[in-house]
Structure 1
Amino acid sequence: MKISIDHKSAVPLHIQAENLLRELIREPEYQAGKLLPNEVDLAKKLAISRTTLRQAINKLVYEELLVRKKRLGTKVAHAKMSSKSMNWLSFTQEMEARSIPIKNYELHISWVFPEDHIANFFDIKTDKKILKMERLRGNAEEAFVYFISYFHPRIGLTGEEDFKKPLYEMLESEHSVVADLSKEEISAKAADKFIAGKLEIDPGSPVLIRKRFVYDQGERPMEYNLGYYKAESFVYTVESRRSS
Structure 2
Amino acid sequence: MAKTRGSARSASALDPLGFALDRGSPVPLYHQLAQHLEAAIEHGALAPGDLLGNEVDLSVRLGLSRPTVRQAIQSLVDKGLLVRRRGVGTQVVHSQVRRPLELSSLYDDLEAAGQGPTTEVVRNERVPATADVAAALGVAEGAEVVVLERLRRTHGRPVAILCNHLPAGLLDLGGTRLESTGLYRMMRAVGITLHSARQTIGARRATAEEAGRLEEQEGAALLTMQRTAYDDTGRPVEYGTHLYRASRYAFDFQLLVRP
- Would you call these one fold, judging by a TM-score over 0.5? yes
Q: Deviations over 1:122-163 (max 9, x none)?
A: 2222333211111111212411111000002252x3431622
Look up the match of 1:160: 174
Look up the match of 2:247: 232
Equivalenced residue count is: 215
**Contact kept in structure 1, 2:93 and 2:155, CA below 8 Å:** no
Look up the match of 2:219: 204
Q: How does 1:43-82 map to 2 (within 5 A)?
A: 53=68, 66-67=75-76, 69=78, 78-82=94-98
Percent identity of the aligned residues? 17
Look up the match of 1:120: 135
Look up the match of 1:186: 201
- Deviation (angstroms), 1:12: 8.4
Could you tell me how far apart the structure 2 residues matched to 1:93 and 1:27 are? Answer: 21
Please identify which structure carries the higher helix content: 1
- Deviation (angstroms), 1:96: 2.5
Report which stretch shifted further, 104-113 or 12-21.
12-21
Letter in 2 for 1:102: P
Q: How does 1:93-108 map to 2 (within 5 A)?
A: 93-108=108-123
- Deviation (angstroms), 1:105: 3.7
Q: Deviations over 1:24-58 (max 9, x none)?
A: x97999969x9x859xxx7xxx79697xx48x967
Could you tell me how far apart the structure 1 residues matched to 2:109 and 2:47 are? Answer: 29
Could you tell me how far apart the structure 2 residues matched to 1:89 and 1:13 are? Answer: 43
Q: Are 2:154 and 1:139 aligned?
A: yes
Could you tell me how far apart the structure 1 residues matched to 2:151 and 2:181 are? Answer: 14
How has the CA–CA distance of structure 1 residues 160 and 141 changed in structure 2, closer, same or farther, with 3 Å as cutoff?
A: closer
How has the CA–CA distance of structure 1 residues 185 and 28 changed in structure 2, closer, same or farther, with 3 Å as cutoff?
A: closer
SS at match of 1:67: helix
Could you tell me how far apart the structure 2 residues matched to 1:19 and 1:206 are? Answer: 23
**Contact kept in structure 1, 2:228 and 2:236, CA below 8 Å:** yes
Could you tell me how far apart the structure 2 residues matched to 1:12 and 1:231 are? Answer: 27
How has the CA–CA distance of structure 1 residues 241 and 154 changed in structure 2, closer, same or farther, with 3 Å as cutoff?
A: farther
How has the CA–CA distance of structure 1 residues 47 and 229 changed in structure 2, closer, same or farther, with 3 Å as cutoff?
A: closer
Q: Are 2:229 and 1:220 aligned?
A: no
**Contact kept in structure 2, 1:138 and 1:145, CA below 8 Å:** yes
Q: TM-score, normalised by structure 2?
A: 0.66
* Structure 1, gaps ≥5 residues long: none
Letter in 2 for 1:159: L
Could you tell me how far apart the structure 2 residues matched to 1:166 and 1:143 are? Answer: 16
Could you tell me how far apart the structure 2 residues matched to 1:228 and 1:140 are? Answer: 18
Could you tell me how far apart the structure 2 residues matched to 1:80 and 1:123 are? Answer: 36
* Structure 2, gaps ≥5 residues long: 8-19, 85-89
Could you tell me how far apart the structure 2 residues matched to 1:6 and 1:189 are? Answer: 45
**Contact kept in structure 2, 1:136 and 1:147, CA below 8 Å:** yes
- Deviation (angstroms), 1:101: 1.8
The alignment's C-alpha RMSD in Å is 4.1
- Aligned partner (choices 144, 169, 172) of residue 188 of structure 2: 172
